[in-house]
Structure 1
Amino acid sequence: MARKRDPQSVRHQRGVITLRTLLLIFTGGLLVLVLLSGFFTSYSHFRGYVSEQLAGQARDGATAVGLSLSNAIDGRDRVAAASLIDSVFDSGRYLSVVYLDNQGQVVVGRSRTLEDIGVPGWFRSLANLPLPVARAEVVRGWSRLGTVQVVSDPGRAYRDLWRITSGLVVAILVIGGIGLFALFLVLARVLRPLHALEEQARALGRREFRRHVTIRSTRELNQVTTAMNQMADDLGHLFEGQAKLIQHFRRVNNEDSVTGLASRSAFDQRLKAEVESEERFAPGALMLIQLRDFAGFNDSYGRLEGDRLLIRIAGVIREFLSRHTGSFAGRRTGAEFAVYLPGAVPADAGIWCRDLLAELDGVYADQAAPAEVAVHGGVAKTAAGVKARELMSAADEALRNAQSHEESECHFANGEQEHHHNNDTWRAIISEAILRERFSFWLQPMFEDHSETPLYHQVFSRLQAPEGELKAGVFVPMAERFGLIEDIDRLQIRRVLDWLESRPDQSFAVSVAGASVASEPFRRDLLIWLEEAGDASRHLWVGISEQTIHHHRTAVGLLVRALGRLGVPVVVDRFGVGGVPFSYLRNLRFQALRIDNSFIHNIDSHEENRFYLESVVSIAHSRGVQVFASGVETASEYGVICKLGIDGAMGYHLGRPFAANQ
């Protein structure tokens, strides 16, 4: 058996940097590095410039004072020297102007400390401009009188450097911010297709081939998106081709080419599964119907008219089947048809058979007028231990007895007198059971990959009637006929949700009837209950039959998408019996298919079913959908389906149903 495939196998990678982030960091970092390099270069250049200005200012001041004391003023005149130095110092350009004698003693001088200069202290400490000291000699003739020592005031230099630095920082922040924002916009625009491609890749991983990328960007990315779109289209066409091929093969082998009803071999196979399967057996009735003198009609009107008649007859039979849940029909030979009614008691089958014969007689008479025609029917009831061939022989004998009459007639193989409930009694029994909750629930395990732990337990309901517990195959057709099946589904789902709350380590599966799925109040209440259940709802598998998907596409689509958003797995129940195309697998997200037991019954000796099942498994797995089998009753059947790659199986061979309270 194939390994379980995780439907969430494609996930977001965590801790891995995105391409856009990487490009943004690299290019943004490069931009910041260029701006910072420019800043430090400009800062260093200007700092050197103001330092040279301070040194030049000090030299000029020392030279001017020295020359003045040497030539214009007698340097030996202390008062005159003091007056000159005061005038120079008061200009505010120097921290210190000192006149020293030859022994280094101060003759006259002025100095002050560097106080508040209008720049932050941290910047002053960071800039740390040098304080250059300039010296000039004072001479008179050939005599050296002393030395003038001048220190420039760096306050203005600090203020200029602070102003220039602040301007550079603001410019860098503005230019850098605009540059990074522009870079972000450019990368977001250029790399937009990447996110769409990522979503498309995830969709392909989920086998969804309809997603296309329409965003245009650079030439290289446009080529990638075009290639991805083409691949998605090719995979979609490949899947459709496979599905159509398998559906065609199934139609050729299982459907009558004229009427579209089940072929003789397909009907017999499904009848055997219904009648001979220990797991599926329930009371029912088989009807054989034949048009009298159809060969004469063909001779008189031609084969094309004969085919048109058969198609009209098949249409009436299909309409009849739509009114009886679980029933199916097939064309035997010529104008002979077979109809099986699960859960039908002989009295009801007699009424239905006569009504159906009346409808068919009207169609036949209208087509064959003015010729006299008739439609005959034979009915046989199922019984424990009776094989499908014996049941067919009994119905055929009843048909031959009916054909002894000229008029349309329906005969029973063993008479129709037996104790049974009429419609009113059935309605009262089922309504009372719903009101009093007189249902018992049984569980049957679904195993996967030879695991000893069930994947889930399928839930079945049984009705507690006066004659004992009745299987679903007996009362469900009646409940659907009376419009009571929705109440039974509500009761079953509420009970299962209660189990999930008390048994968080288990999973369960429930099958929902078509009438319930079609009911908007039921769907609304179901979703409310599942939301209230929280994470526990993820352990509930919801089964929807393939026939329901076919007849209620809109309602099924709404429900399946809503369940998908809640994380509730959905399985296609009774897959294969409806002859429905696989197209819904492309449009709706199902987690699994459960093959009907009519395909599993005696599959070890049924080559056509093996090939069909193998093809279904291949297509389903290509879509990420698991495939389960139901009705496995023998070791040989189990061995065959394991080789075919089935993901899970259930049946009497693997585990019999047991009461839920056990």
Structure 2
Amino acid sequence: MTLYRQLLVTMLLLFAMLFITAYSVQFSSTRSYLAQQQQTTVINTATALGLALTPYLETSDSLGAESVINAIFDGGFYRKIQLNLLAADQEIIREHLAPPQEVPAWFINLGLFEGGRHEAVLTSGWLQLGQLYVEGHPGQAYYELWQGMSKLATWFVICFLLVWGLLVLALRYLLKPLHDIEIQAREIELHHFGKTIPLPSTRELREVVFAINNMAGKLEVQFKEQADEAERLRHKAFLDETSGLGNRAYFVSQSQSWISEGSGGAAILIAVNMLEQLYQDEGFEARDQMVKAIAVNLRQLCRRFGDYALARISAHEYAMLVSESDLERLSLLGEEINRQIADLVIDPVNGQDISVVGVAVVQPGDDISQLLTRADNALNKARMSEAGAVVVECYQAQYQMGRLAWKQLVEEALAEDSFELSTQAVLDFSGQPYHEELYIGIRKDGIIYSAGNFLPVAEQFKLGERLDLHIVARALILLREQPELRLAVNLTQHSCHQAVFWNELSRLLERYPNVRSRLFLELPESAFAFGKSLLIAPLASLKVAWGIDHFGRHFDLLTHLGKLRPHYVKLDHGYTSQVLQPDYDDAFLAAVCRAAHNMGALTIATRVETDTQVERLKTLYIDAYQGFVSPPRQLD
């Protein structure tokens, strides 16, 4: 029970005890007063009636005596008046046995009043004339006691409720600092900082609140320093200082991650030939300014794709990974790259001397060396062609379909609900499952197309919202049918930035209130790279667990992790794929994991293939892993 409730209940019990005590005293005193008053009335009535009857008894006038008794009996509250005439051996009796009116029977059955009794012998000198018995009726006493105590109880109840309300308001006001401290403690437990509690007027609470605020501020600074340190290590390992883009190590790691996922796309190499001539003519400052300007333009071009990687891999070369695999669109992209770089030159003489582009489409079964070799061959052919022509190389056409054909494939799968579903478990290092990630595929003509093949087209034609809502609905049905299941569903980047999608998703989740706690949403890191603040409110309103997929592909997101407050992050494969290499430096990966823990997020390694990798990852502050060491299972 909370302190607020304990204080409230204690005060209310004390007030109730005070009420019961005061009520009991008042009840007892009122009852005694009414009983004494009734006894006094009976005695006075018997005395007065005896004096009135004596003259009639001396003359043996029984009719007169009866008239006097009737007058007295009818004018008061008496249960019984009895006169025994000794000389005539006669009795005169009047009785009223009716119960009191407007008084509950249970109250009368308590036997609070006897009614009062008095006997008197009527005499004339030494002669006894008769014997008089008077008994009062308790009805009036019951009525007066009931009415008085009912009103008193009503006022006590009203006062009790009023005091209750005032206590609630007073305690909420007085204990508000404690409530704020409780909330702040929970936020600190979840590694969420930034909120300062107002200092209360109470001296003792003021000191506590000041200490809590001070501690939270220091922890926030400490965790931010750790996040900054992780970013510094990352920049040192993967950032090209001049351009602000990734370096060769970053591009290689991203390429490995890209290929291992089976995602379609293309690798683009851009050789900017005029940078060397610019250095010779105007010096390194002019060259560095051009390097930065080219990086800005390339970054703007990349943002049109759902996912990408961009790096400067040598003094004169840039590299890109994009999710586009259409040959015609890639050729146009290459020409646009050449044109934008040429626009940066004040007085271009020969376009071939400015830049050339080589493109290689990612093929099934590729490894990093094969992909980069094909891209480099394409770049060499571009150098030999006139005007920096773009060469696109594509050796295998098994998955080469036109954009409209891919679009039709996705629309047919949505209309017919023909997606094939499978899951892969996320396990902690004790072997216990955390959740299962849901994978989708489309089978056509004996070929299963994974999500990596058709998602770029779904993003391009804005089918991501329909696709995401459809898969989430399927996942909710599976969760309802299998109570032990915990599913993570990936969302597309386009959906994440659509307010309509979040509204539809909220309505969908409201239809499954009993299973939404076992649903996890995974958002690509690229969705946060261009609009972090837009996603905080909708994610908080859904009240479901969520995580960030491919964490680490984009720079500078780690420092914003505390504001995003994900439940977990899935580390990009590029940072975990090389953990078994002898010269692998795990300082950055360990720093990223510590920073994520400090912000309240679990860390999950992806694409784990062997038990040896699992053992190595245990030492790097990683909480769980996922990969073909635990093979996928079909749900359909």
TM tier, smaller: 0.7 to 0.9
- 2:166 paired with 1:182: no
Counterparts in 2 of 1:617 and 1:367: CA distance versus 1, 3 Å: farther
Deviates more, 1:177-186 or 1:551-560: 551-560
Task: Name the SS for the 1:632 alignment partner.
Answer: coil
Deviates more, 1:236-245 or 1:219-228: 219-228
- Cα distance in 1, alignment partners of residues 402 and 369 from structure 2: 31
Give ranges in structure 1 of 5+ residues lacking alignment: 1-12
**Aligned counterpart in structure 2 of residue 263 of structure 1, from 247, 251, 260:** 247
Deviates more, 1:466-475 or 1:211-220: 211-220
- 2:525 paired with 1:541: no
Counterparts in 2 of 1:370 and 1:648: CA distance versus 1, 3 Å: closer
TM-fit CA distance, 1:538: 4.8
Contact 1:603 1:640 survives alignment (8 Å): yes
- Cα distance in 2, alignment partners of residues 96 and 442 from structure 1: 99
TM-fit CA distance, 1:183: 1.0
- Cα distance in 1, alignment partners of residues 419 and 217 from structure 2: 50
- Cα distance in 2, alignment partners of residues 647 and 422 from structure 1: 36
Contact 1:286 1:379 survives alignment (8 Å): yes
1:326 is aligned to 307
2:16 is aligned to 29
- Cα distance in 2, alignment partners of residues 86 and 482 from structure 1: 113
TM-fit CA distance, 1:646: 3.4
Structure-1-length-normalised TM-score: 0.77
Counterparts in 2 of 1:53 and 1:229: CA distance versus 1, 3 Å: farther
Contact 1:274 1:281 survives alignment (8 Å): yes
Give ranges in structure 2 of 5+ residues lacking alignment: none
Contact 1:78 1:107 survives alignment (8 Å): no
Deviates more, 1:644-653 or 1:52-61: 52-61
TM-fit CA distance, 1:262: 0.9
- Cα distance in 1, alignment partners of residues 634 and 39 from structure 2: 101
- Cα distance in 1, alignment partners of residues 210 and 134 from structure 2: 73
Deviates more, 1:608-617 or 1:623-632: 608-617
- Cα distance in 2, alignment partners of residues 84 and 499 from structure 1: 99
CA deviations over 1:586-630 (Å, ceiling 9, x no partner): 445543322221121112448887444444444444554333221
TM-fit CA distance, 1:46: 0.5
1:636 is aligned to 612
Contact 1:138 1:148 survives alignment (8 Å): yes
Counterparts in 2 of 1:62 and 1:202: CA distance versus 1, 3 Å: same
- Cα distance in 1, alignment partners of residues 434 and 624 from structure 2: 8
Aligned residue pairs total 622
**What is the CA RMSD across the aligned residues, in angstroms?**
4.6
- Cα distance in 2, alignment partners of residues 544 and 121 from structure 1: 70
Contact 1:361 1:408 survives alignment (8 Å): no
**Aligned counterpart in structure 1 of residue 438 of structure 2, from 436, 443, 459:** 459
- 2:268 paired with 1:287: yes
- Cα distance in 2, alignment partners of residues 538 and 204 from structure 1: 23
Contact 2:361 2:394 survives alignment (8 Å): no
- Cα distance in 1, alignment partners of residues 547 and 200 from structure 2: 39
- 2:237 paired with 1:253: yes
2:149 is aligned to 169
Structure-2-length-normalised TM-score: 0.79
CA deviations over 1:391-445 (Å, ceiling 9, x no partner): 556655765676678x863576xx847575999x512321331344397635241
- Cα distance in 2, alignment partners of residues 489 and 477 from structure 1: 14
Letter in 2 for 1:256: D
**Aligned counterpart in structure 2 of residue 146 of structure 1, from 128, 132, 143:** 128
1:79 is aligned to 60
Counterparts in 2 of 1:317 and 1:115: CA distance versus 1, 3 Å: same
Task: Name the SS for the 1:642 alignment partner.
Answer: helix
Highest RCO, 1 vs 2 (Cα 8 Å, sep ≥ 6): 1
CA deviations over 1:223-260 (Å, ceiling 9, x no partner): 76666666666655555454444334433433222322
2:406 is aligned to 430
TM-fit CA distance, 1:57: 1.9
CA deviations over 1:552-600 (Å, ceiling 9, x no partner): 4466345424532xx4x32211111122424664445543322221121
CA deviations over 1:426-485 (Å, ceiling 9, x no partner): 123213313443976352412323576755443334455779444443443344345455
Counterparts in 2 of 1:384 and 1:561: CA distance versus 1, 3 Å: closer
2:30 is aligned to 43
Contact 1:58 1:133 survives alignment (8 Å): no
Counterparts in 2 of 1:189 and 1:378: CA distance versus 1, 3 Å: same
Contact 1:446 1:455 survives alignment (8 Å): yes
Contact 1:134 1:151 survives alignment (8 Å): yes
TM-fit CA distance, 1:632: 0.9
- Cα distance in 2, alignment partners of residues 301 and 270 from structure 1: 34
Contact 1:459 1:508 survives alignment (8 Å): yes
Q: 1:438-477 alignment to 2 at 5 Å?
A: 441=420, 443-450=422-429, 455-462=434-441, 468-477=447-456
Counterparts in 2 of 1:500 and 1:134: CA distance versus 1, 3 Å: closer
Contact 2:324 2:330 survives alignment (8 Å): no
1:8 is aligned to none
- 2:498 paired with 1:514: no
Counterparts in 2 of 1:133 and 1:367: CA distance versus 1, 3 Å: farther
Contact 1:547 1:578 survives alignment (8 Å): yes
**Aligned counterpart in structure 1 of residue 94 of structure 2, from 104, 107, 112:** 112
